[in-house]
């Protein structure tokens, strides 16, 4: 049975999220983020049956490459709290085969997003569990042949989101009808549809995890009360009720996957921090070796009495000093500290990695409690 689900969210740096990481996960690919140097590898992810990038006519052609597109987005954002991308998740009609689903999503994206100037990257996920859905990632800046320009604030309006929601229902129903299928979906609330039943609330992964752990939760308690009341006033389980149950499961599954993704990102960040900690000590040692060699050559020059020997030492000294200066410059550019501060910086990185380990463990516990 076709169900209605459309959920929109913003990908923000302030929440520790990256459009490169999100795009890699959605498409099941391996992408390197040039902004933070982290490589995100989701090539083993199952259930990704199709992915595609759609561009406005005036966008650079190279943006058809997923890595190029989202790294360009990262480069265009300078703030630490930037809103880098918008994501829309939609449930796909199970009555359609994969090719029909692809064409449906393409037409919806073209009419509502690409024709309005957004670059779109979409992926269809289907694990053959009756829950096919699409992830649509959208850019937030105007684009020209030269790349990304200013933010388009009109794309943030609530009225536009409501229009996207309605348009998704309309295009689905149009295709269902043209295929001779009686099923229809509705983007409106139950009250607006004239259904005399109180809508259930979305519990969420954290509240569900609390319930699994035997802890009380206001949201779980409220949800159960609504379900109980609806059962008391409904003589049988209606199609609408089954629709909401399925929709609730879909949302919960998405939240669990989002938690798992955050945990995977945390683990990669831990690995990156520890590698950087080891590397910074190693590079500082190399700089120190060059510095000691300079001092040795200067001492030899003072002790040498022959002019020819001094010339040879001067030549060596010049080469080592150039190498040392270049090494110091590269070190400061890469790590933003002086080589003398390497030990303190390595300790800071180790402490950050240790804190992230605690975050990772908590995320793993929440994901396990929510789905098991």
Instruction: Give the residue extent of every domain in the chain.
Output: 1-186, 272-367
To the nearest 10 degrees (0 to 180), the angle between helices 19-27 and 66-76 is 160
The pLDDT of residue 19 is 95
10 Å CB burial of residue 94 (0-12, 13-18, 19+) is middle
Give pLDDT, residue 202: 47
H-helix or E-strand containing 54? strand 48-54
Other CB atoms within 10 A of residue 311 CB: 12
pLDDT in tens, the chain (372 residues): 678 889 999 999 888 889 999 999 999 999 999 998 989 999 998 899 999 999 999 999 999 999 999 999 999 998 888 999 999 999 999 999 999 999 999 999 999 999 999 999 999 999 888 889 999 999 999 999 999 999 999 999 989 999 999 999 999 999 999 989 888 888 665 444 444 455 554 444 455 555 666 666 666 666 566 556 655 554 445 555 555 556 565 666 666 677 777 777 877 888 888 888 888 888 888 888 888 888 888 888 777 765 556 777 778 888 888 888 888 888 888 888 888 888 888 888 787 877 777 777 766 665 555 554
What pLDDT is attached to residue 129?
Answer: 82
Length of the chain in terms of residues written: 372
Q: Give residue 323's pLDDT.
A: 85
pLDDT score at 257: 72
Fold entry, domain 1-186: BirA Bifunctional Protein; domain 2 (3.30.930)
Distance CA 54, CA 116 (A): 12
The tokens for 150 are 């200013």
DSSP for 107-147 reads: HHHHHHTGGGT--EEEEEE--SSS--EEEEEE--EEEETTE
What CA–CA distance (Å, rounded) separates 10 from 130?
27
Q: In what order do the strands lie in the sheet with 83-91?
A: 6-12, 83-91, 133-138, 120-125, 48-54
Q: Exposure string (b/e) for 233-267, b if CB count within 10 Å is 16 or more?
A: eeeeeeeebebbebbbebbbbbbbbbbbbbbbbbe
321 φ, ψ to 5°?
-65, -40
84 touches 12 (CB < 8 A): yes
Please give the structure tokens belonging to residue 46: 């199952």
């Amino acid at each position: 049975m076709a169900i209605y689900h459309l959920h929109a969210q913003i990908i923000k740096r302030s929440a520790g999220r990256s459009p490169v990481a999100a795009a890699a996960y959605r498409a099941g690919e391996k992408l390197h983020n040039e902004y933070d140097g982290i490589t995100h590898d989701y090539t083993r992810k199952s259930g990704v049956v199709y992915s595609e990038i759609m561009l406005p006519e005036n966008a650079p052609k190279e943006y058809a490459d997923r890595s190029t597109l989202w790294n360009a987005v990262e480069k265009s954002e300078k703030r630490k709290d930037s809103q880098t991308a918008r994501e829309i998740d939609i449930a796909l009609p199970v009555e359609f085969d994969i090719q029909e689903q692809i064409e449906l999503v393409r037409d919806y994206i073209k009419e509502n997003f690409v024709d309005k100037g957004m670059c779109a990257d979409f992926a269809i996920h289907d694990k053959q569990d009756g829950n096919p859905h699409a992830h649509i990632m959208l850019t937030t800046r105007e684009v020209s042949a030269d790349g990304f320009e200013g933010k388009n604030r009109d794309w943030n309006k609530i009225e536009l989101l409501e229009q996207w929601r309605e348009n998704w229902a309309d295009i689905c129903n149009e295709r269902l009808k043209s295929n001779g299928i009686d099923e229809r979906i509705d983007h409106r609330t139950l009250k607006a549809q004239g259904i005399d039943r109180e809508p259930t609330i979305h519990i969420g992964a954290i509240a569900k995890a609390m319930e699994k752990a035997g802890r009380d939760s206001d949201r779980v308690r409220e949800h159960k009360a609504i379900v109980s009341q609806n059962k008391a006033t409904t003589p049988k389980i209606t199609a609408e009720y089954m629709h909401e149950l399925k929709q609730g499961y879909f949302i919960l599954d998405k939240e669990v996957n989002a938690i798992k993704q955050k945990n995977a990102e945390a683990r990669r960040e831990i690995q990156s921090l520890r590698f950087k900690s080891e590397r910074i000590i190693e590079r500082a040692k190399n700089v120190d070796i060059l510095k000691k060699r300079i001092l040795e050559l200067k001492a030899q020059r003072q002790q040498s009495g022959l002019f020819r020997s001094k010339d040879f030492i001067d030549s060596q000294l010049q080469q080592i000093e150039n190498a040392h200066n270049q090494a110091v410059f590269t070190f400061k550019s890469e790590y933003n500290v002086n080589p003398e501060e390497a030990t303190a910086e390595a300790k800071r990185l180790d402490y950050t990695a240790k804190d992230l380990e605690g975050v990772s463990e908590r995320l793993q516990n929440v994901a396990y409690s929510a789905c098991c």
